[in-house]
């Protein structure tokens, strides 16, 4: 049994108090439900001296969902999102993604902010301290090489596995971020910078995967309703319950008569960021036929990584992502 490092717990009741607590404790880490962070503390992966519990801020727990707009506060729980009548009725992709995360007890505790900002994962990282130390650690902690890709030139390929982000990205969601001087809003897809490019052209990787600046934190997410948009989420996991995705796929599309009028596909569990596939809109304008299926498969092959950061081979995850995307698109189009 590993000893948990000592930490102090602060539970602010307002956003201003969160900002104050962050200013007073620059080394602090934010705590949502703790369902991932506390595991990482137990494994000695991180050892924050102070945890700032976000669940006491009432305004961060609100959920609004009707045909016109979706707004979810960072401290709403996954269970609240999965069971919300408005989310189920108008944004099924989000309700389905939330309902697929971990197990019922995790969903009671786990929050939207914690899921969106979930740490990236790797078989060489999500291990105990003695295991990692016996393997000389790796780039994501205190080591100097990547065991997945020893010639990675400083790039980490740890995988982003949160289920909510791809679902929200198919709705063109935005994320609200608070910082000491106010707030800013950005497209949710821009929160994720884990492009992991060997040539140094990308800004981030599996170690630096969020565009949050020091002192910033997520306040909530929102999206506009789109009339006629059909959406769904599905994932493959090793066990059928309580398990991160081998690959998770969100699809949203619009059908206009026999024509595929809009198509959005986002994938998690494969790259150091959730990937909103580029190029899907070029597949629209005709029937959902063999040309679209082939085009979708090509986009998945080109944009989905095949690094072996989990127990399943990377090329298997990529194939699974392609199959799920095709199945969901066909199901939504035909129903
Ligand atoms: C057995 C098991 C299975 C799991 N399966 C899945 C799964 O299938 N899918 C999945 O997506 N996840 C899974 N998880 C991970 C986790 O339970 C969920 O992702 C959960 O939503 C994390 O939310 P949390 O509130 O508990 O986050 P926490 O653990 O509290 O925090 C996670 C990270 O987010 C940061 N953070 C929290 N709130 C904010 C904020 N407002 N702004 C900025 N940063 C913030 C924290 O500092 C930390 O770095 C699993 C975990 C376990 C233990
Ligand atoms: S991808 Fe490489 S650097 Fe990143 S966590 Fe895995 S082994 Fe470590």
3-state secondary structure of 323: helix
Q: Is residue 145 part of a domain?
A: no
Same domain, yes or no: 203 and 295: no
Same domain, yes or no: 63 and 95: yes
Which of 21, 105, 107, 117 has the most ligand 1 atoms within 8 A of CB, as the residue to mutate? 117
Q: What is the CATH number of the domain that holds 282?
A: 3.30.390.50
Q: Is residue 283 part of a domain?
A: yes
Q: What is the CATH number of the domain that holds 104?
A: 3.30.465.10
Q: Is residue 256 part of a domain?
A: yes
Same domain, yes or no: 46 and 101: yes
Same domain, yes or no: 185 and 214: yes
Q: For helices 314-334 and 290-303, what crossing angle results, to 10°?
A: 150
Which of 113, 186, 191, 212 has the most ligand 1 atoms within 8 A of CB, as the residue to mutate? 113
For residue 115, which atom of ligand 1 is closest to its CA? 21
CA of 121 to the centre of ligand 2 (A): 8
**What is the Cα–Cα distance from 201 to 284, expressed in whole angstroms?**
30
Same domain, yes or no: 85 and 60: yes
Which of 152, 156, 204, 307 has the most ligand 2 atoms within 8 A of CB, as the residue to mutate? 156
Number of domains in the chain: 2
Among the candidates 203, 224, 245, a domain finishes at 224
Per-residue pLDDT at 44: 94
Same domain, yes or no: 97 and 77: yes
3-state secondary structure of 169: helix
Q: Which ligand is nearest to the CA of 138?
A: 2
Same domain, yes or no: 215 and 278: no
Per-residue pLDDT at 206: 96
Per-residue pLDDT at 202: 66
- Is the Cβ–Cβ distance between 318 and 309 less than 8 Å? no
Same domain, yes or no: 99 and 79: yes
Query: For 147-154, which contacts have Cβ atoms below 8 Å and span 24 or more sequence positions?
Result: 148/122, 148/124, 148/307, 148/308, 148/309, 149/307, 152/198, 153/198, 153/200
Q: Is residue 2 part of a domain?
A: no
- Is the Cβ–Cβ distance between 43 and 126 less than 8 Å? yes
Per-residue pLDDT at 3: 77
Residues with CB under 6 Å of ligand 2 are 122, 124-125, 138-140, 146-148, 156-158, 206, 309
Express each pLDDT in 12-45 by its tens digit.
Answer: 999 999 999 999 999 999 999 999 999 999 999 9
For residue 106, which atom of ligand 1 is closest to its CA? 17
Domain that residue 84 falls in: 8-127+152-224
Q: Is residue 90 part of a domain?
A: yes
Same domain, yes or no: 80 and 98: yes
Same domain, yes or no: 287 and 160: no
Same domain, yes or no: 211 and 235: no
Low-confidence ranges of the chain (pLDDT < 50): none
Same domain, yes or no: 86 and 163: yes
Report the share of the chain in percent with pLDDT over 70: 98
**What is the Cα–Cα distance from 106 to 99, expressed in whole angstroms?**
11
Q: Is residue 50 part of a domain?
A: yes
Per-residue pLDDT at 310: 86
Q: Give me the count of residues in the chain.
A: 335
Residues with CB under 6 Å of ligand 1 are 29-37, 39, 54, 74, 78, 101-102, 106, 109-111, 113-115, 117-119, 161-163, 217-218, 242-245
């Amino acid at each position: 049994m590993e000893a948990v490092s000592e930490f102090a717990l602060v539970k602010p009741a307002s956003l201003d108090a969160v900002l104050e607590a962050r200013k007073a404790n620059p080394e602090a880490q934010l705590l949502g439900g703790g369902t991932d962070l506390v595991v990482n503390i137990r494994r000695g992966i991180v050892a924050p001296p102070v945890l700032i519990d976000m669940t006491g801020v009432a305004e961060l727990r609100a959920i609004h969902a009707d045909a016109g707009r979706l707004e979810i506060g960072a401290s709403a729980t996954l269970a609240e999102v999965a069971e919300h009548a408005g989310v189920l009725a108008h944004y099924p992709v989000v309700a389905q993604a939330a309902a697929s995360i971990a197990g019922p007890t995790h969903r009671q505790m786990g929050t939207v902010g914690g899921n969106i900002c979930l740490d990236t994962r790797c078989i060489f990282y999500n291990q105990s301290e003695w295991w990692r130390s016996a393997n000389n650690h790796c780039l994501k902690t205190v080591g100097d090489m990547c065991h997945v890709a020893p010639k990675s030139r400083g790039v980490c390929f740890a995988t982003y596995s949160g289920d909510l982000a791809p679902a929200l990205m198919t709705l063109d969601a935005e994320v609200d971020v608070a910082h000491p001087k106010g707030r800013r809003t950005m497209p949710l897809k821009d929160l994720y910078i884990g492009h992991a490019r060997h040539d140094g052209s990308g800004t981030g990787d599996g170690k630096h995967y969020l565009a949050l600046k020091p002192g910033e934190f997520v306040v909530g997410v929102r999206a506009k309703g789109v009339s006629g948009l059909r959406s769904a989420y599905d994932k493959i996991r090793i066990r059928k319950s309580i398990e991160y995705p081998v690959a998770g796929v969100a699809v949203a599309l619009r059908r206009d008569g026999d024509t595929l009028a809009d198509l959005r596909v986002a994938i998690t569990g494969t790259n150091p960021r959730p990937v909103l596939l580029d190029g899907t809109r070029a597949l629209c304008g005709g029937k959902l036929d063999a040309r679209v299926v082939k085009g979708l498969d090509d986009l998945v092959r080109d944009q989905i990584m095949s690094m072996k950061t989990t127990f399943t081979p990377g090329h298997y995850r990529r194939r699974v992502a392609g199959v799920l995307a095709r199945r969901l698109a066909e199901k939504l189009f035909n129903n």
